[in-house]
Structures are given as C-alpha cells and as structure tokens.
C-alpha cells in the first residue's frame, strides 16, 4: 500500500515553564503527521520527543521527515530505526488509525481535501472543524480513565491541587528532587496534611535523588502509608535515582513497602526489556509517545504481565488518543493514567492544530 505523506512541526508554549530535575521546560515542540491512502482515507500521528529521557531530538525527527519521499509504504513505517523511538510511535499510530478508519469524521471530510485514487492534493479546508468533532470522540474515550494530575514543584502544589480536586481528579503527581530535600519534605508534610481523604499521591524525582535522599523519602512514605489516622496513600515514588543506578533502585524496592516506579530507566522499549530481564517486577511507567514501536510494545506487554502506568509526554490529542488506546488494551492494574497535564499549556490546542494546515503546500 502507498501513502501520501505530509508533516507539520508545531510549538506549544507552557503557561508556566515546567520545573523538573532536568531543568526548565518552556515550549513543547513536536511534529504532526498525516498519511493518506489511495482511497482518500487519512491517518493522523504525532512525534513528540523528549530527548533528555532518551528519545531522539525534535530536530532529528524533523530531519528524518524531510528526508522521506512524498509517498511512503508500510515498509517505510516498520523499518524506522530504534534510534528514533518517537518517530516509530508517530508513524505506526498514523498507520493504525488509517487502517482502522478510526475516526468517521476524518474519513467523511477527506473527500473534500484529497482526490480519491490519487495523491494529487487540494487545499486543505476545515481542519479545525473536523478536528473539533474528533476531539469530542477523544474526550469521551479519555473520560473513561482515572487521571493523575501533575502538580508543580515546590510550594505551588499547596494551592493548585484545589483547582482540580473539585472536577474529580483525586490522584496527583508531585515533582521532587527540584529543591533541597529538607525544604521539599517540609512542603510534603503540609501537603499531606491538606489533601482530602482517599487521595492518592505519586512523587516523581526524575532520577534526581541521592541514595540517602531516596531513603528519607521512602521512609516518610512508609510512615504515612502505615498510619491508619492518615487517609492518604502514597502510591509510589517515580524514578528516585538516575538511570545508571538500576541495581540500587532494585535494592531500595526490596527494602521499603512503598512501591518504586521506573520512568527514565524504561523510556524506550529496549530499556523496558532490559530492566525486566534484570529482575524488575515493580511498576513500569510507559511513556507511549517515546517508547518506540506500538506493535512491539503490545507484543511485550501481552507476553509479560507487568504492572504499568501509562503517562503523557505533553502531546496533543493526536498522540494522546493513540497512547490511551494502548493503555486501554495493555494496562493490567487499575491505576490512574498520567495524562492530567493539559492545564500546563498557554495556547488552546485547537488553535495550534488549526494553524498547522492553513497553508496548502506541504513542508515535506
């Protein structure tokens, strides 16, 4: 099968720069893909790299797209190098959507934009309206998930949790390892005292703790989880140590009752397989947008009964739909998915997507 290939880079600004152990993140850059088959059916995909997690850079992804011909095949998609995991995810997701005719709204309007049985393109119209219809479908699918909402690092978390609690989000993730441990544990005690009963809290260190600091946090979490007078559950600590300290994280996971989840250590499918083979049976955080081939991830997860949490890479609804589809199929535990991040963006997503296809000519 042959597919007309188009792509558009995008840039979305965070309302407030995201502060993590890796540094300050001000803009989310990525690439939107569109594949059109010979009958006019369309599949959308997204490349949303996070290079400091181990994926390719946005520049490498754009360079790869620019080198592709205007018409590609299935072989093109399934021969993408493992060094481009975000590209693997984006292209396979677009192809899967096209094959399954996932969105009836997209299919119904492609006759306006692409001539059947031809790769001769016309000016693309009504991208926004058809995507708004598709957004309704995505919102319906997304609403079936319990979501973990990301709180900002530091004292700001003490105020922001209230903004989302009333709309039904009762699982939160808080960034740690950003400020000195004494300051963060003080804020943590305040936060633990404020959060309502039956809240679940995840702590995300992004690999920024020392071994001693990790012990401090794990002991505090154990104390809270064992205290019957506190109706707060610390669900897990995410990536307490750096990627090259796997054996120490394995040791910590066996020394404390609070669970540890690997994140940066399992950013790509190759890393996920390696950690499993080395004995990790704790939680695996799967960032589908950068992990690599969805078909190979599916094969691994169906073969091994892993405890996984699917998590966002701050993608648009295009990538989010594909990731949540995988989460629906592959999640073994009833854990909240980590996709409560849309409030971090300054610009309305629909405006961003509308602007991408205003020009008739393709960058590719």
Phi, psi of 134 (to 5 degrees): -70, -35
The 10 Å Cβ neighbour count of residue 210 is 14
263 is in an annotated binding site: yes
**CB atoms inside a 10 Å sphere around CB 141:** 14
Q: Pinpoint the alpha helices (H) of 227-344.
A: 246-255, 269-277, 288-291, 294-303, 317-330
pLDDT tens column, 17-28: 888 777 889 999
For the ranges 56-70, 76-90, 126-140, 189-203, the lowest mean pLDDT is seen at: 126-140
Binned at pLDDT 50, 70 and 90, residue 349 comes out as confident
pLDDT of residue 126: 40
Instruction: Give the span between the Cα atoms of 239 and 135, in whole angstroms.
Output: 32
354 assigned ligand-binding residue: no
Q: Which domains does the chain have, with CATH numbers?
A: 2-114+124-141+347-356 (3.30.390.10), 144-344 (3.20.20.120)
Going by pLDDT thresholds of 50, 70 and 90, the confidence category of residue 101 is: low
Q: What pLDDT, on the 0 to 100 scale, is given for residue 45? A: 97
Q: Residue 8: pLDDT above 70?
A: yes
The 10 Å Cβ neighbour count of residue 183 is 12
Rounded CA gap, 209 and 179, in Å? 10
Over residues 290-329, the pLDDT tens digits come to 999 999 999 999 999 899 999 999 999 999 999 999 999 9
Give the residue numbers marked as catalytic: 175, 287
pTM, to two decimals: 0.84
> Would you state the pLDDT for residue 59?
98
In this prediction, residues 77-94 reach a mean pLDDT of 98
**Average pLDDT over all residues of the chain:** 86
Residue found by looking up tokens 């299935």 in the block = 74
Residue located via tokens 């390719």: 56
Highest mean pLDDT among 20-34, 92-106, 131-145, 279-293: 279-293
Residue 204 assigned as binding residue: yes
Residue from 293, 237, 241 nearest 265 by CA: 241
pLDDT at residue 107 greater than cutoff 90:
no
């Amino acid at each position: 099968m042959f597919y007309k290939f188009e792509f558009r880079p995008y840039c979305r600004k965070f309302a407030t720069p995201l502060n993590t152990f890796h540094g300050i993140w001000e803009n989310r850059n990525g690439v939107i893909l569109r594949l059109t088959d010979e009958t006019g059916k369309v599949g959308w995909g997204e490349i949303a790299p996070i290079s400091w997690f181990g994926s390719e850079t946005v520049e490498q992804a754009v360079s790869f797209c620019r080198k592709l011909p205007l018409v590609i095949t299935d072989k093109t998609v399934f021969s993408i190098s493992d060094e481009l995991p975000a590209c693997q995810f984006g292209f396979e997701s677009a192809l899967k959507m096209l094959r399954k005719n996932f969105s009836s709204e997209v299919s119904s309007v492609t006759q306006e934009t692409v001539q059947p049985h031809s790769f001769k393109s016309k000016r693309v119209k009504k991208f926004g309206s058809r995507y708004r219809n598709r957004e309704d479908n995505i919102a319906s699918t997304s609403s079936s998930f319990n979501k973990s909402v990301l709180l900002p690092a530091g004292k700001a978390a003490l105020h922001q949790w209230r903004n989302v609690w009333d709309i039904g989000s009762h699982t939160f993730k808080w960034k740690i390892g950003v400020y000195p441990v004494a300051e963060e544990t003080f804020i943590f005690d305040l936060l633990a005292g404020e959060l309502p009963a039956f809240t679940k809290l995840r702590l995300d260190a992004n690999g920024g703790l020392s071994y001693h600091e990790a012990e401090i946090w794990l002991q505090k979490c154990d104390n809270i989880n064992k205290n019957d007078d506190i109706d707060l559950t610390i669900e897990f600590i995410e990536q307490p140590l750096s990627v090259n300290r796997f054996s120490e994280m394995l040791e910590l996971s066996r020394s404390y009752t609070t669970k540890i989840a690997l994140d940066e250590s399992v950013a790509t499918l190759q890393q996920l397989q390696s950690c499993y083979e080395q004995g990790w049976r704790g939680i695996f955080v799967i960032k589908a947008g950068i992990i690599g081939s969805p078909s190979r991830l599916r094969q691994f997860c169906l073969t091994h009964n892993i405890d996984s949490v699917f998590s966002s890479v701050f993608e648009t609804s295009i990538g989010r739909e594909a990731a949540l589809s995988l989460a629906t199929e592959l999640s073994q535990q009833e854990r909240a998915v980590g996709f409560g991040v849309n409030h971090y963006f300054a610009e309305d997503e629909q405006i961003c997507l509308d602007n991408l296809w205003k020009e008739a000519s393709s960058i590719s």
